[in-house]
Amino acid sequence: MEAGSAVLWYVRREGETPTCIKRCLDDQNVSKFVCKHKSHSTKLEISNIQQNESGIYYCAYRYVSYLVFGNGSALIVGDSYTDRSGVLLLVPFPHSSQDTRTAHLACVVQGVSGPVHVSWSVSGERQEQGLMRWLKAKDGSLTLINHISVPWDTWASGKIFTCDVKFNSSGRNLTASAGYPAAPDKQCSHYLVPLAAGAGLLLLSVSLSLVWTLCPCTLGCRPRISAPPASREPQAGIVYSHLDFDSRNRGGRTLQQPARGKRSKP
């Protein structure tokens, strides 16, 4: 596509929809935003940049009656790192080797104050930047989710997927890596049968023990008390759940207080 007046620039900030900030057709007047054209490329120059102008900037090309958008570029003014910043890589659950679906991976960057630069690599080879989503926590910090989609064969090939996060002026980098879980070693396969048999016997012993503890024949079987419903508390887009358990001995006396899960910070 030829660069020129058909190019527009949009910006998307946290909590806002994309907004058109520059039409290169209006570039005859000098302003804060200036378009710089070459034969097949266009640059956007921003003068007197401010920290609140951080965001994801998209170029759009007017093609007949619709717009074609680029993938976006993160502009970070200042630094986004805080003492709560962290990176978590979410990967799909393993499936059979015959599964031909698409694999989706997500890089979750928590506890930041603004945009970050996220890049993906597969066994050292750079990949196209993924899509970014924003979530705002109760303390005002941001959680950014950047995800990519690859063919399932690529994910199951054993390659290492790495998410690299840069926060800008602090020079801090955080990375998270993961790969498809390797199949068990064939040399160890002859241990699987006795291990499975042992696990079965252990499960049977535990089951009989629970039956004897909760429902002894001498006292008659008592109906089990249904567990209270699980409570769910949303925290910055992450759902936290806990269950209450009530342990009783054969006489029906409570052995311990109901255990409650500890709340994990988003």
Q: Assess contact for 67 and 61: CB atoms under 8 A.
A: yes
Lowest average pLDDT, out of 7-16, 197-206, 257-266, goes to: 257-266
Mean pLDDT of the 205-228 span: 49
* Ramachandran category for residue 182: left, alpha or beta (phi over 0 → left; psi -120 to 50 → alpha): beta
Taking only the tens place, the pLDDT of each residue in 238-252 is 554 445 555 454 455
Give the pTM: 0.56
Cα–Cα distance between 221 and 211 in angstroms, integer? Answer: 9
DSSP assignment of 28-67, as one string? TS--SEEEEE-SS-EEEEESS--GGG-EEEEEEEEETTEE
Cα–Cα distance between 74 and 7 in angstroms, integer? Answer: 18
CATH number of 7-75: 2.60.40.10
What is the reported pLDDT for 196? 57
Of residues 109 and 25, more confidence is placed in: 109
What is the reported pLDDT for 178? 93
Helix ranges (DSSP H) in the chain: 152-155, 192-214
List 37's β-bridge partners, or say none. 42
Lowest average pLDDT, out of 25-39, 45-59, 103-117, 244-258, goes to: 244-258
Confidence of residue 8 (pLDDT cuts 50, 70, 90): very high
Mean pLDDT of the 140-155 span: 89
CATH number of 86-179: 2.60.40.10
CB neighbour class for 147 (10 Å; exposed up to 12, middle 13-18, buried from 19): middle
Confidence of residue 220 (pLDDT cuts 50, 70, 90): very low
Taking only the tens place, the pLDDT of each residue in 43-101 is 899 999 988 888 889 999 988 889 999 888 888 888 889 889 999 999 988 765 555 68
Query: Which residues of the chain form CATH 2.60.40.10?
Result: 7-75, 86-179
